[in-house]
Amino acid sequence: MAIIGRLPKTYKNLKPGLHGDGGGLYLQVTITKAGNRSLSWIHRYQLAGRIRNAGLGPVSDVSLADAREQARLNRLMLRNGIDPLEDRNAKRAANLAASVKAMTFDEASEIFIRQHRAAWKNPKHAEQWVSTLKAYASPVIGKLSVSAIETAHVMKVLEPIWLEKPETASRVRGRLESILGWATVSGYRQGDNPARWRDHLKNLLPAKEKVRAVRHQTALPYAEVPSFLAELRARQGMAALALEFGILTCVRTADVRNARHADIDRVNRVWIIREFSKTHKEHRVPLSDAALAAFDKARALANGISGKIGKSEFAFPNDITGARLSENALLSVIDRMGFKGQATAHGFRASFRTWALEQTSFPWELCEMSLGHTVGNKVEIAYQRGDGFQKRVAIMNSWAAFCARPVDDAKVLPLAAKLR
């Protein structure tokens, strides 16, 4: 029978020591050094001949009913050969270990991006990782522990944008998969990756290709390129020269903007792009007379503006700061010429490729190489050590010659001699 009365009157009159309630439950009354009374619950039990005291908490936090219930549960554990105190300590250790290893999705994202940023040669790529995760993932799962993220959470991130922005949504999904994969390998989560596409999200979401037709960059018909270039050459400014250079070399806009004097060998008529924007590998570009003329005009223009601009490392520098041209500089030239919606700087690569296919007999592999595309399967690539540079010289010269045709004669397009 319990000897403990109801709180608080009976408790305050108890003398220091242990006061039994039955079933091994005791109220421990102690006097602190400051002279205050301390009341706490203890469950005393014997296991393998050893007396153990399992503290159940202070009276201020644990009621008599709760203490009795915990003592009852302890007795059940003892019947099953489990030491309640050891079991509790093991669980506390496990919880502590789990809390130390706990990591939110935002924290995992930050670490993943920091560790991989050096491998992303294009700064814009790293910025896109940060911006898309911040916009779409963080508001939904940013504060969740990576160990708790399930398929339903991933779907909550993707569903609102999957149909509206399929390309962006697909990239976000891939980034979620990469981060959660990193978290698994790092020991912060277990189990399958809920953001994986194959045999998983593929069954829940339509393929992005089926959501909306892929929109290609608007390209000017190749027959209209000569008249466009004639009009372009009548314009002034660094961006116009950069656009002309890009059209004649068939490279991507980013590579034109990043073109440096040190990479253009005028004597050997070659522009060596150290890290091509698409493959991040070296790409050699043959330079026709027309391309070199655009380069020379840009250099003369830079030198004529100021010493600061003339000393810029960029072949086509911003004519105010000397830094690289802005991302939309070339497109702005096209818009100002009245071709908005009809052409893009990148689209001239398609103009070139269509011209080469329909109006020449140049091997398609060399035309693809002229665009910096990887040609062949993995085995073929492994054995293909050359880049067909000398043969590509003829392609670039033919393209430049076509672009320089008189406007009225632009549609008369004889086939180029087939390369041997």
**Residue in the structure block whose two tokens are 């041209």:** 325
When pLDDT is averaged across residues 231-256 and rounded to a whole number, the result is 93
Which residues make Cβ contacts (< 8 Å) with residue 313, sequence separation at least 6? 260, 261, 262
DSSP-assigned letters across all residues of 238-289: HHHHHHHHHHHHT--HHHHHT-BGGGEETTTTEEEESS-TTT-S-EEEE--H
When pLDDT is averaged across residues 185-210 and rounded to a whole number, the result is 89
Dihedral angle of Cα 142, 146, 150, 156, to the nearest 10 degrees: 10
Mean pLDDT of the chain: 84
When pLDDT is averaged across residues 33-39 and rounded to a whole number, the result is 85
When pLDDT is averaged across residues 98-123 and rounded to a whole number, the result is 82
**Residue in the structure block whose two tokens are 């893009």:** 344
**pLDDT, position 278:** 57
When pLDDT is averaged across residues 209-231 and rounded to a whole number, the result is 79
pLDDT tens string 54-63? 989 898 899 8
**pLDDT, position 412:** 37
Residue type, 132: T
Helix or strand or coil: residue 150? coil
DSSP 140: H
Give φ, ψ of 58 to 5 degrees: -75, 155
Rounded Cα–Cα distance for residues 7 and 66 (Å): 14
Are the C-beta atoms of residues 240 and 251 closer than 8 Å to each other? no
pLDDT at 353 > cutoff 60: yes
Structure tokens at 273: 């792009």
Provide the sign of the torsion angle of the four alpha carbons 255, 261, 265, 267, taken in this order: positive
pLDDT at 152 > cutoff 80: yes
In the beta sheet, which residues pair with residue 42?
26, 55
- Stated as kind and residue range, the H or E segment containing 56 is strand 50-58
Could you tell me whether strands 283-286 and 37-47 are parallel, antiparallel, or unpaired per DSSP bridges? unpaired
Provide the sign of the torsion angle of the four alpha carbons 4, 9, 15, 16, taken in this order: positive
Provide the sign of the torsion angle of the four alpha carbons 58, 60, 61, 64, taken in this order: positive
Give φ, ψ of 164 to 5 degrees: -80, -40
DSSP 133: I
**pLDDT, position 259:** 92
Closest CA to 352 of 407, 415, 403, 404: 403
**Residue in the structure block whose two tokens are 């040669």:** 121
In the beta sheet, which residues pair with residue 29?
17, 39
Closest CA to 131 of 175, 194, 191, 89: 175
Which residues make Cβ contacts (< 8 Å) with residue 402, sequence separation at least 6? 222, 225, 226, 355, 359, 410, 413
Rounded Cα–Cα distance for residues 191 and 70 (Å): 34
**232 compared with 372, residue with greater pLDDT:** 232
Which residues make Cβ contacts (< 8 Å) with residue 413, sequence separation at least 6? 223, 355, 359, 402
Rounded Cα–Cα distance for residues 338 and 10 (Å): 94
**pLDDT, position 332:** 93
Across the beta sheet with 283-286, the strand order is 264-265, 270-273, 283-286
- Provide the pLDDT confidence category of residue 246 given band limits of 50, 70 and 90: very high
pTM assigned to the model: 0.52
Helix or strand or coil: residue 40? strand
Closest CA to 173 of 216, 213, 141: 141
Highest mean pLDDT among 223-232, 270-279, 399-408: 223-232
**How many helices (H) and strands (E) in the chain?**
19, 7
Residue type, 313: E
